[in-house]
Amino acid sequence: MINLMALTLNVLWYRDTMQLDTTERRIMESRGSRHTLVIRKVHRSDFGNYTCVADNQLGKTRKSVQLTGTPNPAKFNSASRGSWKDSYNISWAVESLSPIEEYKLLFRRLPDSTSEDGHPQPLHHQSQRKFVPGRENKTYVAVGYSGVYGYGRQFIDKRTDWRDVILPASPSQSPGVQSMSYVIRGLEPGQNYEAKVQARNKFGWSPVSEAFTFQTTDT
Average pLDDT score over residue span 171-193: 91
- pLDDT, tens digit (0-9, with 9 covering 90-100), for 39-92: 998 888 899 999 999 998 888 999 999 999 999 999 999 999 999 999 999 999
Q: Which of 148-157, 171-180, 197-206 comes out lowest in average pLDDT?
A: 148-157
- pLDDT, tens digit (0-9, with 9 covering 90-100), for 184-211: 999 999 999 999 999 999 999 999 999 9
Conformation bin of residue 33: beta by default, left when phi > 0, alpha when psi is -120 to 50: alpha
Is residue 159's pLDDT more than 50? Answer: yes
What band does 112 get if pLDDT is binned at 50, 70 and 90? confident
Average pLDDT score over residue span 102-121: 73
Give residue 43's pLDDT: 87
Phi first, then psi, for residue 30 (nearest 5°) are -135, 120
Give residue 151's pLDDT: 43
**Residues 167 and 192: beta-carbon distance below 8 Å:** no
Distances (CA, A) of 204 to 43, 65, 116, 200: 15, 18, 45, 5
